[in-house]
């Protein structure tokens, strides 16, 4: 799941409405604004903005001075190595953005024209788009109230009833097409129930590709998200925990997949001093060195950012402890979340409050945002196969992201 196209987090909202007089009866919107103000103070706040407080300038200058700003240069190699160390993935291939990472990972997972790929309906559109770039069709899966990601219990039951195994392949009983892969997305940085998801992938012969675009710095059973599947993908868009301007990465423990990913993302050119021989259809998806330079500096700051984001969560937790009718999303069991986007979920009987809350908070200079429109409700994906999506449909009516920048508390204090 990637969020490159629209840095809403960086829309500047310049004015602040005063909180209601405490003598008037408190609406839920009033209570939410008071709780938010307890944490972020009286200033306006955007959803998520990057911070460049480390070696960013130094490395960019070093990159310019070297004249190696493009496809060749030491920062790309270093960024890949640093990411491998941080995530524990054996191999990392840096690419131009998270969408490109997902496209290549799906291709290398064997997704072919005519296949289906299971993805959550509750995701950013890039997950679905990447499937279509392979000529395949997204097949939408419901989401779990707790993890906000793939509902593993429902998915297993669905596949038991709606798919069959033939020659080691999972076949959609209705369409007759091969369901080739499963792409769980770790929503807002919270890991899906990976134990169960891995078990489903195994039992139903599905290639597992983790969309970890939102979960750099998130762990499941102490292991980094994106390193459980055949491959995982990251995003470093401007709205992410760390940014390279635009960027992404493919994680894998398989040396041959890593080699092939690097080959495909660099136009499939065979090495030669001067000959331009390309042995398959390739892509121009490599990360430029200048973006990697930014990434190296950002990655150095990541531990401090994660600490700050966890502290922000704890401050929100305290502030919302007394607000009833709404809950702050906590990291699921067995998970350590990066808390990329802090999230409120309204109780079911308060779903009609979502738009009121969105309006009131944004009017008050506190940027908030609902989840994405569910994929099966978008024009290009209306006809795609899907399971019952009651969980995702309910969540999307009740979910609100609130200001989440790692610098938010610094700005307050």
Minimal CA–CA distance to 201: which of 173, 178, 227, 170?
170
Cβ–Cβ < 8 Å for 103, 130: yes
What does each C-alpha distance from 35 to 16, 93, 328, 410 come to in angstroms? Answer: 15, 42, 11, 18
Instruction: Tell me the C-alpha to C-alpha distance, in Å, between residue 46 and each of 13, 168, 366, 401.
Output: 7, 49, 7, 11
Interhelix angle 56-66/74-87, rounded to 10 degrees, is 140
Q: 286 to each of 18, 19, 400, how far by Cα in Å?
A: 48, 48, 34
Nearer to a copy of itself, 167 or 379 (CB): 379
Alpha carbon 234 to its chain's center: 7
58 near a copy of itself (CB under 8 A): no
Based on the shown chain and the rule CB under 8 A, indicate whether residue 60 belongs to the binding site for a copy of itself: yes
Among 42, 52, 304, 325, binds a copy of itself (CB under 8 A): 52
User: Is 61 a binder of a copy of itself (CB under 8 A)?
Assistant: yes
How far is Cα 262 from Cα 241, in angstroms, rounded to an integer?
24
Among 31, 252, 289, 353, binds a copy of itself (CB under 8 A): 289
Least separation, in Å, of the C-beta of 194 and a copy of itself?
Answer: 26
Count of residues touching a copy of itself (by CB under 8 A): 72
Q: How far is the CB of 88 from a copy of itself (least distance, A)?
A: 27
370 scored as a contact of a copy of itself (CB under 8 A): yes
Angle in degrees, 0-180, between the axes of helices 74-87 and 289-320, rounded to the nearest 10: 30
* Residues 107-126 contacting a copy of itself, CB under 8 A: 124-126
State the nearest-atom distance from the C-beta of 78 to a copy of itself, in Å: 16
Stretch near a copy of itself under the rule CB under 8 A, chosen from 17-25, 78-86, 325-333, 363-371: 363-371
Residue whose CB is less far from a copy of itself, 358 or 412: 358
- Coil, strand or helix at 193: coil
Residue 281 within binding range of a copy of itself, rule CB under 8 A: yes
Q: Which region, judged by CB under 8 A, interacts with a copy of itself, from 51-59, 145-153, 301-309, 322-330?
A: 51-59
Of 262, 250, 178, give the one whose Cα is nearest residue 210.
250
String of contacts with a copy of itself for each residue 153-182, x by CB under 8 A? ------------------------------
**Nearest approach, Cβ of residue 280 and a copy of itself (Å):** 6
Give the one residue of 6, 304, 321, 333 binding a copy of itself; rule: CB under 8 A. 6
CA separation, residue 277 to residues 42, 238, 282 (Å): 60, 35, 11
Q: Is 228 in the site for a copy of itself (CB under 8 A)?
A: no
CB neighbours of 119 closer than 8 A, spacing ≥ 6? Answer: 127, 128, 131, 138, 139, 140, 141, 183, 185, 211, 375
Query: How far is it, in rounded angstroms, from Cα 374 to Cα 322?
Result: 31
How many Cα atoms are found within 13 Å in the side-chain-facing hemisphere of 250? 34
Is residue 22 part of the contact set for a copy of itself (CB under 8 A)?
no
Please pick, from the candidates 5, 110, 255, 303, the single residue that binds a copy of itself as defined by CB under 8 A. 5
Q: Is 259 near a copy of itself (CB under 8 A)?
A: no
- Nearest approach in angstroms of CB 271 to a copy of itself is 9
What are the structure tokens assigned to 168, written together?
A: 């080691």
Query: Rule CB under 8 A: is residue 15 a binding residue for a copy of itself?
Result: no
365 binds a copy of itself (CB under 8 A): no
Selected binder of a copy of itself within 159, 179, 212, 294 (CB under 8 A) = 294
């Amino acid at each position: 799941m990637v969020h490159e196209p629209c840095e809403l987090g960086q829309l500047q909202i310049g004015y602040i409405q005063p909180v209601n007089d405490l003598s008037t009866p408190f609406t839920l919107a009033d209570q939410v604004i008071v709780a938010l103000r307890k944490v972020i103070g009286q200033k306006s706040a955007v959803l998520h903005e990057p911070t460049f407080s480390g070696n960013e300038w130094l490395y960019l200058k070093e990159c310019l001075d070297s004249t190696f700003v493009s496809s060749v240069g030491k920062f790309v190699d270093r960024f890949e190595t640093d990411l491998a160390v941080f995530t524990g993935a054996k191999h990392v291939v840096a690419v131009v953005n998270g969408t490109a990472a997902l496209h290549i990972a799906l291709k290398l997972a064997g997704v072919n024209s005519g296949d289906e790929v299971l993805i959550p309906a509750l995701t950013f559109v890039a997950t679905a788009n990447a499937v279509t770039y392979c000529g395949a069709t997204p097949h939408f899966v419901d989401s779990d109230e707790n993890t906000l990601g793939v509902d593993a219990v429902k998915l297993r039951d669905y596949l038991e009833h709606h798919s069959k195994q033939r020659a080691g392949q999972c076949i959609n009983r209705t369409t007759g097409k091969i369901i080739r892969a499963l792409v769980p997305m770790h929503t807002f940085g919270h890991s899906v129930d990976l134990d169960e998801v891995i078990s489903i992938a195994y039992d139903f012969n599905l290639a597992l590709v983790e969309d970890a675009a939102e979960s750099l710095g998130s762990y499941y059973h102490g292991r980094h998200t994106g390193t459980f599947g055949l491959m995982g993908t990251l995003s470093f868009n401007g709205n992410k925990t760390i940014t390279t301007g635009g960027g992404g990465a493919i994680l894998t423990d398989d040396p041959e997949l890593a080699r092939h990913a690097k080959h495909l993302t660099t136009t499939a050119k065979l090495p030669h001093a001067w000959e331009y021989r390309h042995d398959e259809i390739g892509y121009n998806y490599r990360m430029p060195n200048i973006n990697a330079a930014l990434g190296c500096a950002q990655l150095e700051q990541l531990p401090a950012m994660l600490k700050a984001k966890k502290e922000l969560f704890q401050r929100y937790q305290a502030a919302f402890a007394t607000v009833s009718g709404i809950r702050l999303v906590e990291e699921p069991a067995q998970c350590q979340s990066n808390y990329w986007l802090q999230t409120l979920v309204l109780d079911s009987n308060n779903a009609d409050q979502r738009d009121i809350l969105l309006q009131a908070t944004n009017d008050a200079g506190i940027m908030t945002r609902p989840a994405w429109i569910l994929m099966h409700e978008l024009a290009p994906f209306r006809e795609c196969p899907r399971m019952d999506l009651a969980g995702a449909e309910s969540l999307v009516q009740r979910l609100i992201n609130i200001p989440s920048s790692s610098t938010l508390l610094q700005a307050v204090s």
